[in-house]
Amino acid sequence: MLARALDQDGSNALAAPDAPDRISTTCRHFMGGVLTHLDELVAIFLPNANSYRRIVPGASAPFSRARGIDNRTAAIRVLNQEPESTRTELRSCGGDVNLYLGLAALLSAGVDGIRNQTDPGPPAKGDLDEQDIARLPQNWGDAFDASDWARHAFGKDFCPNYSTIKRYEYDRFRRTVTDTERDL
């Protein structure tokens, strides 16, 4: 998912050429909120078993909970070479994400970060697949309904229902024996 915003005058609201990392304070806080809530939202951003097959080392899909400047192994990649083209990418979404839910999750987490002035920390450097860094959870059913923030952002009825479905799908996946396993 790509984030880019314009100010009222039409300039890029994410860019701040004289600020650290050449990004605006609002952009920093937005990323801070997303990184803070990323574990809670993994059930939305990576909605099924196949989503998790790609978040392994060397698969060109980030599984870290970090941001980086032009770093494809970070969950949030910041591209900031020119103020006009400054943007962020949430790279930890699967291609199978429900765009409506994904966008709602991204915006809710980002706005929470802006509201609480959440600092995303320093940008990570290098290949994060090979570093000891916080990782995304591998079980997509548990964290979502345990979160007070998620219940507030998505509603008290949505969270337990969505988590129940995701937990059922995860358990069903774990009980499935693949053809490869049968052939061993």
What's the chain's average pLDDT?
83
Does residue 51 contact residue 139 with C-beta atoms inside 8 Å? no
State pTM to two decimals. Answer: 0.85
Give one DSSP letter per residue of 59-76, joined into a string: SSS--BS-EEET-TTSSE
Cross-strand pairs, 19: none
- Asked if pLDDT for residue 10 goes beyond 70, the answer is no
- The class of domain 2-137 in CATH terms is alpha beta
Q: Residue 109: which pLDDT band, with cuts at 50, 70 and 90?
A: very high
Q: What count of Cα atoms within 13 Å lies in the side-chain half-sphere of residue 57?
A: 7
Q: What percent of the chain has pLDDT above 90?
A: 24
- Asked if pLDDT for residue 3 goes beyond 70, the answer is no
Task: Provide mean pLDDT across the span 152-173.
Answer: 86
Read off the tokens for 63: 């599984």
Task: Provide mean pLDDT across the span 158-174.
Answer: 86
- Asked if pLDDT for residue 8 goes beyond 80, the answer is no
Q: Residue 133: which pLDDT band, with cuts at 50, 70 and 90?
A: confident
E-strand spans in 44-141? 67-69, 76-79, 87-90
Q: What percent of the chain has pLDDT above 70?
A: 88
If we measure between CA atoms, which residue out of 60, 79, 66 comes closest to residue 12? Answer: 79
Annotated domain spans of the chain: 2-137
